[in-house]
Amino acid sequence: MDWNIIFGQALTQGFGVQAVIFALAAIGLNVHFGYTGLLNFGQAGFLAIGAYALGVTVATFGQSLWLGVIYGLIGSVIFALLLGVPTLRLRADYLAIVTIASSEIIRLIVRSVTYRETFGGSDGINGFASEFYELNPFSSGLALGPVVLSANDLWITVVGWALVAVALLLVFLAMRSPWGRVLKGIREDEDAVRSLGKNVFAYKIQALVFGGVIGTLGGFVFALSNQSVQPDNYATTITFFAWAVLILGGAARVFGPVLGSVIFWFLLIFVNIALVEMVRAGYITFLTSTQVGQIRFILLGLSLMLLMIYRPQGILGDRKELALDAR
Amino acid sequence: MVIGTRARRAVLLVIAALVALLGPAVTGLSAAHAADDLVVQGVLVQADGTPVPGVLVSVTSEGGFSSSGSSDADGNWAVVVPESGAYTVFLDTTTLPEDVGLRDEERNPLTINLLTSSRTVQFPLGEEVDGGSQFFGRAMQLFVDGLAFGLVIALAGVGLSLIFGTTGLTNFAHGDLITFGALATLVLNNTVGLPFLVAAALALVVAAAFGWAQDAGLWRPLRRRGTGLIAMLVVSIGFGIFLRYTYLLVFGGSTVQFADYSGQAGLEVGPVLITPKSIIASAVSVVALLATILWLQRSRKGKASRAISDNPALASASGIDVEQVISRVWIIGATLAGLSGIVFSLNNGVNWLQGFQLLLLVFAGVVVGGLGTAYGALLGSLIVGVLIQMSTLFIPPELKNLGALVVLIGILLVRPQGILGRADRIG
């Protein structure tokens, strides 16, 4: 077993494009849950809309990739309105149920045989990312100690972290504005905010749209980094990962999702590769290397439970600032 | 009190030890099975159970493998394949008798993905009938299928709704209780070798114990700590992921049929084809649901549980032992969910993810009926079940769950408290 390689790969993933995707997804969730107290369990749907908007616009309709970006943003606004209008007047868990169901429905539609011509069925879509990689200014990759990236990987990673920075700046500015203070007020006590004459429903819808659009940016990065879109990549697992990232880093903190994402991916990959190597070296005999992949989901479930029970504020958060006791 | 907690801990430890012991035994078995030949097989029977012999079925792969087999006097056919992978199964319709046709022409050829175990492929056969009466017949068939499916959802939904009513917990791990009942039956029936009915009864006992242990070991301590409801919702999601992937780790990813009653010929009742096992399973479901309703209406604990749903503080102040009632509700909820899994798997086989996939429909049923009301859950589930099945008259079957979501969103727009819910619970 070569710990240097294991450490290097974990580090590559921890600062790589995976961490970017989930940081964006979790920044969106942070706007929903951390700042406004909305239980969105359909973040996978927002990512899928972004990814499929790129794939369908280019591969199916032969339009420009940048038009796809615009369609994706419009699509995620519409999706947020569809989710929000029926549920945001109701108690928090209705939104949870409707969002998780809707994101699954999106996946069922895009992977169906019926719409195969448009969405590519269960094989998905590829060959749409060339317009993006033609802009790549890097002629060679990066080799920084154990961290190794190809030129294309470097390009998407840099663009991804730039998007994260923009999203963080937007969230930071929004949350210190009067608008953001109303959102926090809604999280703390909806009725109090309503009694001050604020339209709580409208603010919640705006928050859902804002966070959803940031999630869609994550979907763009996901699609471009894989250079393909596959429906089963957008299952509820993504949503649950993003929740784990958010709670680990600390909800209602601007940098919480980013810190959470880096640590989460570093640990996940580290545990995964270390276990696989230990199986291969014969230290662990009761598992096969495919079962290691399942072990990491078991650990994900356990850590989500334990974090929520013992440290719901995560690494950066402030326990007093979380609307965890609202019914 | 101290002794009571200790005894409970001891029981939990024993259960954990049992799971740990059983786990490797089960994985060992499935590994041994994988070493055998991989077979793609099936039985060709008509709607009335008459076997259809002499039909040619060919199996091909993209890798160039090609082989075929024809059905014997009992309608059985089998093709041995060399390795796991994707295969195309094609039934040569020209070898069918003249008066027999495929019920679903679109499912021929079929592409299957063979993983580690052999696979049964069904080609439903029947007489070819003309358009007009076919629509009515199909509608009737789907209505009956829908009711049966609605009962499956209702069994899980009533438990979900009771737990929500008494504790306020939106339990996202409820679907995995459904899978738990089915998996327990599978182990007892296929691995231990007990007859199916004994296995199912024992599995329900295990499911009840699991429900009790879950409340005693996880949810009650959380309630004592004063953990908020939203935090508990997230905990239940984490617990659900933990359970699902534990199932996957121990039992593998394939869909497995119970050893008994897996292939059963249907009975024709008017235009409707229904298997005896479905009739019996639906009857058992109805009895279980009626028993639950009687419990809620007549027994002290049942009445107490309704009182707690109405107003926990007042119920507690009137001398009701809230924790004891909640424990009872968990036992009942988990047993009903386990039964739901067994009934579902009789026709669909057991799969590690089935409960989670059903959960979204259970939520739809429960919300349509009214979250927190047991009767509402029952009504809503039946509506959702029938609607999902009957929607396949007009939309492709793979998109049928979309109907459930449309109804869910529709009801939230028009009557958010659900059909039988009370308005003051939702705001």
Kindly report the nearest CA distance between residue A78 and chain B, in angstroms. 15
- What residues of chain A lie within 8 A of the CB of B421, using their CB? none
CA distances, B264 to each of B33, B44, B107, B208, B281 (Å): 24, 12, 20, 29, 13
Mean pLDDT of B5-13: 53
User: Which two three-digit tokens encode residue B56?
Assistant: 């040619």
Confirm if B416 and B425 have CB atoms less than 8 A apart. Answer: no
- Strand stretches in B23-84, DSSP E: 38-43, 56-61, 66-70, 76-81
pLDDT at A324: 55
Which residue in the block uniquely carries the two structure tokens 């840099």? Answer: A158
B280-303 tens-digit pLDDT = 999 999 999 999 999 988 899 889
Q: According to CATH, where is 2.60.40.10 located in chain B?
A: 40-127
> Which residues neighbour B65 within 8 Å (Cβ) at sequence distance 6 or greater?
B59, B81, B82, B87
Reply yes or no on whether the pLDDT at B206 is more than 60. Answer: yes
What mean pLDDT value characterizes chain B? 82
Q: Please judge whether A97 and B363 are an interchain contact, meaning their C-beta atoms are less than 8 angstroms apart.
A: yes
**Interface list for chain B against chain A, based on CB atoms closer than 8 Å:** 24, 168, 170, 222, 225, 227-231, 233-235, 237-246, 248-249, 360, 363-364, 367, 371, 396, 398-399, 401-402, 404-405, 408-409, 412-413, 416, 425-427
CA distance B60 to A310: 54
CA distance B223 to B229: 9
Q: Alpha helix (H) ranges present in A88-150?
A: 92-110, 116-119, 130-133
**Phi and psi for A314 in degrees, rounded to 5?**
70, -155
CA distance B95 to B52: 10
Strands B267-269, B272-274: pairing is antiparallel
Kindly report the nearest CA distance between residue B268 and chain A, in angstroms. 31
Reply yes or no on whether the pLDDT at B156 is more than 90. Answer: yes
Reply yes or no on whether the pLDDT at A204 is more than 90. Answer: yes
Please give the radius of gyration of chain B, using alpha carbons only, rounded to the nearest integer. Answer: 23
User: Which two three-digit tokens encode residue B255?
Assistant: 């869909």
Percent of chain B as helix, strand, coil, to the nearest 5: 65, 10, 25
Reply yes or no on whether the pLDDT at A147 is more than 80. Answer: no
Domain B135-425 carries which CATH code? 1.10.3470
Confirm if A159 and A149 have CB atoms less than 8 A apart. Answer: no
Which residue in the block uniquely carries the two structure tokens 């290097």? Answer: A8
pLDDT at B1: 38
Q: How confident is the model at residue B102 (pLDDT cuts 50, 70, 90)?
A: confident
Q: Alpha helix (H) ranges present in B349-400?
A: 354-369, 374-390
- What residues of chain B lie within 8 A of the CB of A294, using their CB? 245, 248-249
Long-range contacts of B24-32 (CB under 8 A, 24+ apart): B24/A286, B25/B191, B26/B187, B26/B191, B26/B250, B26/B251, B27/B250, B27/B252, B29/B191, B30/B116, B30/B117, B30/B251, B30/B252
> Which residues neighbour A113 within 8 Å (Cβ) at sequence distance 6 or greater?
A121, B396, B398
User: Amino acid identity of A261?
Assistant: S
Reply yes or no on whether the pLDDT at A245 is more than 80. Answer: yes
Q: How confident is the model at residue B198 (pLDDT cuts 50, 70, 90)?
A: very high
Reply yes or no on whether the pLDDT at B28 is more than 60. Answer: no
Confirm if A65 and A129 have CB atoms less than 8 A apart. Answer: yes
Reply yes or no on whether the pLDDT at B245 is more than 90. Answer: yes
Q: In what order do the strands lie in the sheet with B119-120?
A: B76-81, B38-43, B119-120
Confirm if B191 and B181 have CB atoms less than 8 A apart. Answer: no
Count of C-beta atoms within a 10 Å radius of residue A185: 18
Reply yes or no on whether the pLDDT at A20 is more than 50. Answer: yes
**Phi and psi for B47 in degrees, rounded to 5?**
-55, -35
Q: How confident is the model at residue B19 (pLDDT cuts 50, 70, 90)?
A: very low
Confirm if A242 and A256 have CB atoms less than 8 A apart. Answer: no
Torsion of CA A141, A144, A145, A151, to 10 degrees: -20
DSSP assignment letter at A11: H
Closest C-alpha among B193, B343, B190 to residue B257: B190
Reply yes or no on whether the pLDDT at B32 is more than 50. Answer: no
Report DSSP letters for B125-188, one per residue. Answer: EE----HHHHHHHHHHHHHHHHHHHHHHHHHHHHHHHHHHHHH----TTHHHHHHHHHHHHHII
pLDDT at B414: 84
- What residues of chain A lie within 8 A of the CB of B153, using their CB? none
pLDDT at B230: 82
Strands B110-114, B85-91: pairing is antiparallel
User: Which helix (H) or strand (E) covers residue B110, if one does?
Assistant: strand B110-114
Mean pLDDT of B61-87: 78
Which of B104, B220, B234 is the best mutation test for A, with the most CBs of A within 10 A? B234
Confirm if B195 and B416 have CB atoms less than 8 A apart. Answer: no
B75-95 tens-digit pLDDT = 788 887 777 777 888 887 777
- Domain residue spans of chain A: 17-234
pTM, full prediction: 0.79
Decide which of 1.10.1200.10, 3.40.50.1470, 3.30.300.30, 2.60.40.10 is the CATH code for B40-127.
2.60.40.10
pLDDT at B266: 74
User: Which two three-digit tokens encode residue B324?
Assistant: 């004891």
CA distance A203 to A206: 5
Closest C-alpha among B357, B375, B243, B351 to residue B296: B375
pLDDT at B49: 67
Q: How confident is the model at residue B71 (pLDDT cuts 50, 70, 90)?
A: confident
CA distance B342 to B321: 32
Confirm if B282 and B151 have CB atoms less than 8 A apart. Answer: yes
DSSP assignment letter at B266: P
Pick the more confident residue, B63 or B79: B79
Please tell me whether the peptide bond between A86 and the residue prior to it is cis, using omega within 30 degrees of 0.
no
Q: According to CATH, where is 1.10.3470 located in chain B?
A: 135-425
Kindly report the nearest CA distance between residue B250 and chain A, in angstroms. 9
Reply yes or no on whether the pLDDT at B22 is more than 50. Answer: no
Reply yes or no on whether the pLDDT at B121 is more than 90. Answer: no
Confirm if A60 and A110 have CB atoms less than 8 A apart. Answer: no
Q: Chain B residue closest to A90 (CA)?
A: B427
Mean pLDDT of A166-178: 96
Supply angle C-alpha A142, A146, A148, rounded to 5.
Answer: 30
Q: Please judge whether A305 and B238 are an interchain contact, meaning their C-beta atoms are less than 8 angstroms apart.
A: yes
Closest C-alpha among B318, B171, B176, B146 to residue B243: B176
pLDDT at B20: 46
